[in-house]
Structures are given as C-alpha cells and as structure tokens.
Amino acid sequence: MTRLNKAVARVTREPFFTYGPHRERPFVATLAPGDVLELRPLRCRSEGSAVSIRLADVYRYALQCRVNSVRLEHAREVKKKKAEARARRKFLREIRKENAS
C-alpha cells in the first residue's frame, strides 16, 4: 500500500442534493494527509460548505450501523416469536372457553 503524503480528490458520479444552493452538484471527496476525509460540493470552496471527518470516525460509524442493523433484525425476530406465542395462547384460551361452555 502507498502512504498518503498528499491529498487525493475525486468527484462522485451523481449529485446528492435535490434542493438548496448546491442542488444538482456532485460531491468532491478528498483524502487528506492525517487520515481526514473532506467532502464539499463541486465548484464550492467556501468554508461553510466543506465538511471534514477523521477516517477512524467514519469507520466507527460504519461499524455502528452494521451493529444496529443486526440488533434490529434480532428485535424483529423476537417480536415475531412473541406475536406467534401470543396468538397461540389466545387460540388455546378460546378452545378452553368453548370446552368449558
């Protein structure tokens, strides 16, 4: 692998904004030395429109997104099992009620 000694900038394929002053503009993503990712709309170099974040924070966020999706899937499975058990108990109560009458 090559070490990052100078900034490398690339333009995204599609625009991300659908409204506002930067609509229809793709992003410029820059990997800067110091492991920083800088994002800004194309042809905008003002300080207000540029955003930078450490790559470690991006990685941590991506991991957290993966963990959240796994937790959500597990919660859906638990909810489904609880609903099935609730329906089973309701069915058994109705049968007992019919047998008692």
Is it the case that residue 50 has pLDDT exceeding 90?
no
Q: Average pLDDT of 51-58?
A: 94
Is it the case that residue 41 has pLDDT exceeding 70?
yes
Is it the case that residue 87 has pLDDT exceeding 90?
yes
For the chain, give the longest Cα–Cα distance: 84
- Segment (H or E) for 82: helix 55-100
Which of 61, 45, 42 minimizes the C-alpha distance to 53?
61
Q: How confident is the model at residue 18 (pLDDT cuts 50, 70, 90)?
A: low
Is it the case that residue 56 has pLDDT exceeding 70?
yes
Q: Average pLDDT of 65-76?
A: 97
CA angle 79, 80, 84 (to 5 degrees): 115
What was the pLDDT predicted at 92? 93
| CA–CA distance, 27 with 51 (Å, rounded to integer) | 11
